[in-house]
């Protein structure tokens, strides 16, 4: 993805007085997000990655693109309707954004299907893993599949013949559907010429052929869509099937809850969830073999233009191909080598987790280190007679989580348990509603945070009586309290019983559950109050140091960089000579390497086995190094519309460990991509004489030593 810098380029002579709000200094966030999906898709083509994992990356890029249309494209479409002339900080109108999104996403989709058809399927076939096409079925296979269709598929299908009594059905978001063309008359003398069939989500999208119907030593699979195509005539007895074509509709899946007009947030969210599957249409995918007249018919039915039409050469939902991994159990050689996260030695030796925390602050780095100590923290608190109260934020965790079970047990053991649940964690709303109900049944005090502000902070506070004093123990993290994602996402978590830090966390919880003015915090930076201004002050301090000839350096590792004031501050830092190094997983609206503006800024992205999710802000501070971990990215919503925390890593050994990890990321020459000033990313190319530096692998190896 590139779009021209009209007036600013790396080679232009730029006057000393530069307007840092100039729209050409900013990359469009939606196009930047598409670039992230391109980097994910590149992993599917990387021959150094195990083959089934490459298939996983393809599926991830597709599910990411689904969400992109459901949320981001849907938002831009709404902006076109509300204020078509408004321009973002990048200078683009909503309509201009949609045009660029259409072009770039179409290129991405074509690449996804080419990767499947031309690269992965042939490679899988070499490994005796076959997706058997209908034309290749043996007679034995066809007979088995017909039996499977009649017994497992046919009973749950409900075809709809289109006529005045059977209008076009409501199509569920992202569901697999078929448009069927027919001739002939049915038992009632009807013939509308078309029918629609929706495939229930309960049906698997990939069916494994039993060993008796396949060659020895092979894994043979058939797509559900192929089976339905093959036996579709059984649903329309006596009719002539002219054609059967897949299609899928993606809908606006974001929802709006008017906080000022509701009395019960939980009921309001439940009501909105019921409509998520039927939001406005934002994308239409149709089998590329579909005749033009049928394409026009579907476009008209959904009121869509060709800009949002995608004709695809394969299954309309590639992300469901991921099901194959659960069906292939005998090929560990085609998957990542399994690993077991380690428990840090200071926790493994000391069974009493509170005693271990009293001795020293403890840093966990998932997934390289186990998430188990976090669970154990709550389990011990639940049964410890000296623990009086537990306070916890939950954003994404799941109602069957051991974290939740420990909280329930604590409440039943007489502890005062307070949980702040963010109901509006996108796509986890239903799980969080179920979670709230489960906790309330156990007499846990459940609140939903602050009206108008999502609670995104990751905090746990345990109040314990020790002799004549009360002591606060805290766990603060950059990621969610979710044991499953802790195995795939990189995140930091800090255990501490520091008095001032504990008091800060207590005050934040009081803000979330009660009413009152902003209270001054000792060590935490908190949005929407002090986090943004605190980070800006630290950037300005680096600028002053650089101008005075002192040591000045900023390292930031986040998921996204969007917030304009932060970008402008980093531009000023670069202009002052501060070395700014950024590790940004996804969206980045900052343009590096523009002469006179950002030539001292490097932005790199790491795409590897684990999803980079940590948020770290590090400032050289003329040798008095400061390292902060946070739940917040450099985005407007995190800084001003969410409750977030940013906490210092004050233990020098722990902060040095984080800085060392950052240096590994900054030296990575295997999985790193460098952002260019035009918005594109170039993969780091390692010379033959260069030693391989792969940060995630080094962190895995290092965890075994620590």
Please, is 636 exposed, middle or buried when counting C-beta atoms within 10 Å of its C-beta (0-12, 13-18, 19+)? middle
Residues 545 and 462 occupy one common structural domain: no
Q: State whether 611 and 693 are in the same domain.
A: yes
Mean local confidence (pLDDT), 521-549: 97
* pLDDT attached to residue 10: 40
Quick one: 421 and 451 in the same domain?
yes
Q: Which are the catalytic amino acids?
A: 456
Question: Higher pLDDT residue, 574 or 515?
Answer: 574
Name the token pair of 625: 């190094």
Stretch 683-691: mean pLDDT: 91
| Residue 212 banded pLDDT, cuts 50, 70, 90 | low
pLDDT at position 166 = 74
Q: Are residues 515 and 531 in the same domain?
A: no
Same domain? For 421 and 286 the reply is no
Say what the pLDDT of residue 577 is.
Answer: 97
Task: Indicate the number of domains in the chain.
Answer: 3
- For residue 467, the tally of other CB atoms under 10 A from its CB is 7
Asked whether residue 52 is domain-assigned, the answer is no
The answer to whether the bond into 528 is cis (omega within 30° of 0) is yes
- Per-residue pLDDT of 547-592, as tens digits, reads 999 999 999 999 999 999 999 999 999 999 999 999 999 999 999 9
Final residue before a domain boundary, out of 500, 519, 538: 519
Q: Is residue 32 part of a domain?
A: no
Q: Has residue 140 been placed in a domain?
A: yes
Is residue 662 scored above 90 in pLDDT? yes
Mean pLDDT of the chain: 90
Structural domain ending residue among the three candidates 519, 553, 580: 519
> What pLDDT band is residue 238 in, cutting at 50, 70 and 90?
confident
Enumerate long-range contacts of 149-157, CB under 8 Å, 24 or more apart.
Answer: 149/227, 149/228, 149/230, 149/231, 149/234, 150/231, 150/234, 152/203, 153/203, 153/224, 153/227, 153/228, 154/231, 154/234, 154/235, 156/200, 156/202, 156/203, 157/197, 157/199, 157/200, 157/228, 157/235
Cα separation values, 55 from 154, 216, 318, 323, Å: 29, 23, 10, 10
Q: Could you tell me if 328 and 349 lie in one domain?
A: no
539 and 486 within one domain: no
**152-156, 182-186, 266-270: the lowest-pLDDT one:** 266-270
Both 311 and 398 in one domain: the answer is no
Average pLDDT over residues 449-469: 92
Query: Is 601 a member of any domain?
Result: yes
Q: Report yes or no on 72 lying in a domain.
A: no
Q: Residues 170-199: what's their mean pLDDT? A: 85
Going by C-alpha positions, the residue among 551, 520, 703 that lies closest to residue 618 is 551
Q: 372 and 268, same structural domain?
A: no
pLDDT at position 38, please? 97
**Confidence bin at 519 (pLDDT 50/70/90):** confident
From 519, 539, 571, the end of a domain falls on: 519
Percent of the chain with pLDDT over 90: 76
Based on the domain organization, do 556 and 678 belong to the same domain? yes
CATH of the domain at 555: 3.30.870.10
In angstroms, rounded to a whole number, what is the distance separating the alpha carbons of residues 32 and 66? 16
pLDDT value of position 183: 86
pLDDT tens figures, 116-147? 999 999 999 999 999 999 999 999 999 999 99
Instruction: Tell me the pLDDT tens digit for each residue of 247-292.
Output: 999 999 875 544 444 445 455 555 555 555 568 899 999 999 999 9
Say yes or no: 312 and 241 in one domain: yes
Do 571 and 445 share a structural domain?
A: no
What tens digit of pLDDT does each residue of 425-448 get? 565 667 767 787 888 888 899 988
Contact 659, 469 (CB under 8 A): no
What integer pLDDT is reported at residue 705 of this predicted model? 63
Residue 7 lies in a domain: no
What pLDDT shows up at residue 218?
Answer: 81
Task: Give residue 148's domain range.
Answer: 127-334
Q: pTM of the entire structure?
A: 0.92
Is 46 within a domain?
A: no
Give residue-wise pLDDT tens across range 287-345. Answer: 999 999 999 999 999 999 999 999 999 999 899 899 998 899 889 999 999 999 999 88
- Within a domain: residue 260? yes
Indicate whether 165 pLDDT > 80: no
Mean pLDDT of 395-424: 88
Which range scores top for mean pLDDT: 188-197, 214-223, 312-321? 312-321
Residue 216: pLDDT over 70: no
> What is the domain-level CATH number for residue 328?
3.30.1840.10
């Amino acid at each position: 993805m590139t779009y021209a810098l009209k007036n600013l380029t790396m080679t232009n002579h730029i006057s000393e007085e530069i307007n840092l709000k100039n729209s050409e200094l900013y990359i469009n966030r939606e196009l930047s997000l598409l670039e992230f999906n391109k980097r994910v898709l590149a992993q599917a083509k990387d021959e150094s990655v195990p083959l089934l994992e490459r298939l996983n990356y393809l599926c991830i890029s597709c599910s990411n693109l689904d969400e992109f249309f459901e949320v981001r494209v849907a938002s831009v479409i709404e902006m076109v309707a509300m204020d078509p002339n408004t321009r973002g900080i990048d200078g683009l109108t909503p309509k201009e954004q949609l045009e660029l999104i259409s072009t770039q996403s179409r290129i991405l989709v074509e690449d996804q299907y080419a990767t499947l058809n031309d690269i992965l399927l042939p490679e899988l076939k070499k490994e005796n893993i076959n997706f058997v096409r209908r034309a290749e079925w043996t007679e034995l296979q066809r007979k088995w599949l017909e039996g499977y269709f009649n017994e497992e598929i046919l009973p749950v299908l409900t075809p709809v013949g289109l006529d005045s009594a059977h209008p076009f059905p409501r199509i569920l978001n992202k569901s697999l559907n078929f448009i069927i063309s027919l001739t002939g008359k049915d038992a009632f003398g009807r013939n509308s010429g078309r029918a629609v069939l929706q495939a229930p989500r309960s049906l698997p999208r990939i069916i494994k052929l039993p060993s008796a119907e396949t060659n020895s030593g092979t894994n043979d699979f058939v797509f559900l869509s192929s089976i339905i195509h093959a036996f579709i005539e059984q649903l329309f007895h006596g009719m002539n099937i002219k054609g059967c074509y897949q299609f899928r509709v993606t809908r606006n899946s974001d929802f709006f809850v008017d906080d000022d007009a509701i009395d019960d947030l939980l009921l309001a969210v439940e009501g909105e969830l019921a409509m998520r599957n039927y939001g406005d249409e934002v994308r239409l995918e149709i089998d590329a073999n579909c005749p033009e007249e049928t394409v026009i018919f579907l476009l008209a039915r959904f009121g869509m233009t060709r800009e949002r039409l995608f004709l695809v050469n394969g299954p309309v939902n590639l992300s469901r191909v991921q099901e194959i991994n659960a069906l292939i159990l005998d090929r560990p050689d085609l998957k990542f080598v399994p690993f077991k996260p380690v428990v840090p030695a200071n926790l493994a030796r000391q069974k009493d987790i509170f005693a271990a925390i009293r001795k020293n602050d403890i840093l966990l780095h998932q997934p390289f280190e186990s998430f188990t100590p976090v669970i154990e923290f709550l389990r011990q608190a639940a049964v410890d007679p000296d623990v009086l109260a537990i306070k916890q934020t939950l954003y994404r965790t799941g109602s069957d989580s051991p974290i939740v079970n420990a909280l329930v047990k604590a409440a039943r053991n007489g502890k005062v348990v307070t949980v702040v649940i963010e109901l509006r964690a996108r796509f986890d709303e239903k799980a969080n509603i179920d979670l709230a109900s489960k906790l309330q049944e156990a007499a846990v005090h459940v609140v939903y945070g602050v009206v108008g502000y999502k609670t995104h902070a990751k905090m746990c506070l345990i109040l314990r009586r020790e002799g004549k004093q009360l002591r606060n123990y805290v766990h603060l993290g950059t990621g969610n309290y979710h044991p499953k994602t802790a195995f795939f996402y990189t995140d930091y978590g800090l255990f501490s019983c520091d008095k001032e830090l504990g008091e800060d966390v207590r005050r934040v919880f009081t803000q979330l559950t009660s009413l009152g003015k902003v209270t001054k915090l000792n060590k935490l930076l908190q949005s929407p109050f002090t986090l943004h201004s605190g980070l800006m002050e630290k950037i300005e301090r680096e600028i002053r140091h650089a101008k005075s000839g002192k040591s000045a350096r900023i390292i930031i590792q986040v998921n996204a960089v969007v917030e304009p004031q932060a970008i402008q501050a980093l531009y000023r830092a670069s202009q002052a000579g501060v070395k700014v190094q950024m590790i940004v997983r996804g969206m980045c609206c900052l343009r590096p390497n523009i002469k006179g503006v950002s030539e001292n800024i490097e932005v790199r992205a790491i795409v590897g086995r684990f999803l980079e999710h940590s948020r770290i802000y590090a400032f050289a501070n003329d040798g008095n190094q400061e390292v902060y971990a946070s739940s917040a990215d450099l985005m407007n919503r995190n800084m001003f519309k969410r409750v977030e925390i940013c906490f210092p890593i004050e233990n020098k050994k722990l902060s040095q460990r984080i800085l060392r990890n950052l240096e590994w990321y900054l030296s990575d020459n295997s999985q790193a991509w460098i952002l260019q000033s035009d918005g594109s990313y170039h993969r780091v190319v390692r010379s033959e004489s260069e030693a391989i530096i792969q940060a995630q692998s080094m962190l895995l190896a290092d965890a075994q030593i620590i």
